[in-house]
């Protein structure tokens, strides 16, 4: 396939930069148009913030308008009672900005309103260890605590946090060298884990620095020219690996049992290359630190218990047991729904449902549930019922559930019902990422002049490529599939992860051509859904997510399928932009079948979170690579009235 010439790529970021005020500053996210008073923020809070809050019940938080205080002493008192208020305040500031830009005020402005939203969101979603809003956890109601590594001194900057935010700062009881080394239930109350630099959170209930989210967020930051913020986030992951044992799912204590898809090497390479483009010099010390930490993180994925049987490949595996606390407290009734499903679909239960009986200890966990079978009443007589019987979900089910959460694809039926068998699979996504880690470490070794190390990493990458082709490639179907190493069989579940080998560059040209030919199996009017199966879970049909759109489109472009990449990019961009015009927000996911932001998720948390880190990044990245003519078409589309009734 031909390569696109440079002059065919239109950079919309420079030409459509967010509108500036007369002073040259960007729009203030907590200020109404025309309001320049000292107390404008307070006025904005009353008129704008609380109305959406009460209407939408943001993340379950309910606050009354008359609780807002203007004096700092009263504010601290309110914070101590309503810790999540500040988080909601910041998130709704983005929402409020968007309301001033769309839909009514956005006519004939093209893409400027949505780009202004994204530009402002980078700051609104930025957290640091000196801000009250950083410690808030919308998923768990608990006393606000910030935990430092056991062997780290308390930074002076944290005095602000303890003084102004009613937050305790404590040290972990012991140094942590690897995941699973501490029992997270012993850390009570759960809290935020310290990292030294500012970071961007996804938004909504996700008010911490997430592993794989951060890769896509960093891509967006680099596109927006925010290199120092992106570099600081990478250094936060160095800190996590050095002090908490690995790149974490996110920097909360209850995540000390699991990681997330290993994108850190990609972050390192992208940030380092961006630094060089800005005129930076070879930073040997930074690269040496990166190499050491990446190797440590890589070793976790390539040793037990993260090995996928005897395949030589790796798997997702959470070191914890039983139901994860954030799911129990934040995903109401989820495990009850799981239990009901397995009762009605025993062929998929795989011994996940265990009846409670007296006698030997059973391998179960979590809450008990009951089952009672009764006659359907056909008369006024009381129906006859069998005695109620109690049961629990098995420990193996919860291991699969936790491992699914490490994969990031929670919830999907890709690894069995509710992801229950995740830890029994060698996944396409994870092993493609580990190949990418090996190639990135090869590149870092070359930058450092270590040719022998570079050859070692190249050899490992080539070995993994062969294993991926052996176990995960299906030549007849022209796709990559996950491999169940306990049954010695490939899955038949068609999933967008089949594009990961293209993104990582490990697919042969023939494999890439076959996968691209299967694009039609997935493609919908609004982009690429995660799967072809409508399970009721958010990581299946009909939902498309910005991060996976980026992976698919990057993979297509890498192998020269630019027309396909352009078409899918436009489908997703226009979906995001159209929904932004409707409600002034950017969401974590979209229904790519109906091209809407409406979410009817039955499994897991139900809301469609506003923010949103990786969708903002996807919008910038996909727009940047789109040909000039398609960008102009997308701009013109924003100037047309929305269809009547929408």
Give kind and range of the element (H or E) at residue 426: strand 425-426
Strand order in the sheet with 353-355: 353-355, 389-394, 364-371
Question: What single DSSP character describes residue 90?
Answer: H
Catalytic residue among 235, 442, 578, 588: 588
Tokens standing for residue 243: 């002090």
What's the gap between Cα 479 and its chain centre? Answer: 25
Tokens standing for residue 94: 């983005």
**Going by DSSP bridges, is the β-strand pair 145-148/192-193 parallel, antiparallel, or unpaired?**
parallel
d(CA 324, CA 410): 13
Q: Let me know if 43 is exposed, middle or buried by CB neighbors in 10 A (0-12, 13-18, 19+).
A: middle
Nearest alpha-carbon partner for 440 in 625, 566, 268: 268
d(CA 442, CA 461): 9
Tokens standing for residue 254: 């209850």
Catalytic residue among 326, 410, 482, 549: 410
| Vertex 77: Cα angle to 57 and 128 (nearest 5) | 75
410 is catalytic: yes
442 is catalytic: no
Q: What is the 3-state secondary structure (H, E, C) of 230-253?
A: HHHHHHHHHHHHHHHCCCCCECEH
C-alpha R_g of the chain: 25
Strand order in the sheet with 145-148: 168-171, 145-148, 192-193
CB atoms under 10 Å from CB of 398, counted, come to 26
d(CA 397, CA 539): 19
Catalytic residues: 410, 588
């Amino acid at each position: 396939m031909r390569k696109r010439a440079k002059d065919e790529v239109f950079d919309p970021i420079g030409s459509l930069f967010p509108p500036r005020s007369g002073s040259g500053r960007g729009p203030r996210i907590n200020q109404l148009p025309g309001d320049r008073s000292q107390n404008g923020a307070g006025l904005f809070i009353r008129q704008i913030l609380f109305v959406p809050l009460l209407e939408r019940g943001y993340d379950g938080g309910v606050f009354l308008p008359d609780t807002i205080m203007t004096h700092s002493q009263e504010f601290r008192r309110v914070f101590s009672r309503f810790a999540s208020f500040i988080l909601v305040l910041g998130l709704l500031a983005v929402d409020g900005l968007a309301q001033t830009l769309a839909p009514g005020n956005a006519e004939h402005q093209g893409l400027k309103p949505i780009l202004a939203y994204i530009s402002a969101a980078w700051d609104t979603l930025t957290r640091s260890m000196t801000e009250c809003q950083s410690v808030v956890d919308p998923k768990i109601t608990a006393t606000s605590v910030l935990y430092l590594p056991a062997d780290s001194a308390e930074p002076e900057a944290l005095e602000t946090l303890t003084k102004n935010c009613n937050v305790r700062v404590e040290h972990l009881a012991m140094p942590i060298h690897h995941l699973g080394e501490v029992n997270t239930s012993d850390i009570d109350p759960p809290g935020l884990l310290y990292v030294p630099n500012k970071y961007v959170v996804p938004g909504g209930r996700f008010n911490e620095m997430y592993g794989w989210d951060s890769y896509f967020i960093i891509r967006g930051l680099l596109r927006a020219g925010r290199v120092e913020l992106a570099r600081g986030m990478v250094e936060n992951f160095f800190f996590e690996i050095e002090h908490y044992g690995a790149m974490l799912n996110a920097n909360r204590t209850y995540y000390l049992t699991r990681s997330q898809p290993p994108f850190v090497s990609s972050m390192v390479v992208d940030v380092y290359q961006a630094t060089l483009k800005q005129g930076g010099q070879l930073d040997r010390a930074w690269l040496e630190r990166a190499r050491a930490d990446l190797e440590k993180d890589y070793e976790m994925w390539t040793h037990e218990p993260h090995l996928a049987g005897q395949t030589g490949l790796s798997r997702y595996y959470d070191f914890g047991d039983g139901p994860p606390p954030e799911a129990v407290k934040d995903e109401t009734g989820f495990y009850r729904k799981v239990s009901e499903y397995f009762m009605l679909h025993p062929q998929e239960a795989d011994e996940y449902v265990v009846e409670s009986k007296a006698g030997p200890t059973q391998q179960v966990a979590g809450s008990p549930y009951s089952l009672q079978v009764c006659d359907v009443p056909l008369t006024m007589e009381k129906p006859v019922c069998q005695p109620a019987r109690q049961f629990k979900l098995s420990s193996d089910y919860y291991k699969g559930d936790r491992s699914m959460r490490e994969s990031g694809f929670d919830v999907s039926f890709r690894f069995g019902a509710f992801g229950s068998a995740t830890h029994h699979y060698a996944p396409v996504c994870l092993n493609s990422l580990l190949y990418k880690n090996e190639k990135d470490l090869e590149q870092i070794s070359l930058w450092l002049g270590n040719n022998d190390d570079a050859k070692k990493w190249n050899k490992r990458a080539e070995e993994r490529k062969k294993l991926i082709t052996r176990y995960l490639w299906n030549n007849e179907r022209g796709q990559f599939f996950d491999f169940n190493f306990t049954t010695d069989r490939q899955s038949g579940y068609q999933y967008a992860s089949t594009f990961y080998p293209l993104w990582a560059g490990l697919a042969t040209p023939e494999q890439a051509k076959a996968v691209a030919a299967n694009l039609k199996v997935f493609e919908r009017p609004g982009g690429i859904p995660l799967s072809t199966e409508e399970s009721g879970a958010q990581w299946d049909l009909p939902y498309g997510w910005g991060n996976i759109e980026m992976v698919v489109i990057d993979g297509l472009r890498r192998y020269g399928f630019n027309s396909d990449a352009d078409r899918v990019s436009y489908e997703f961009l226009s979906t995001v932009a159209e929904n932004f015009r409707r409600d002034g927000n950017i969401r974590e996911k979209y229904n790519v079948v109906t091209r809407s932001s409406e979410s009817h998720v039955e499994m897991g948390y139900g809301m469609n979170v506003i923010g949103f880190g990786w969708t903002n990044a996807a919008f910038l990245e996909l727009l940047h690579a789109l040909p000039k003519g398609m960008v102009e078409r997308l701009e013109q589309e924003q100037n047309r009235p929305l269809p009547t009734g929408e």
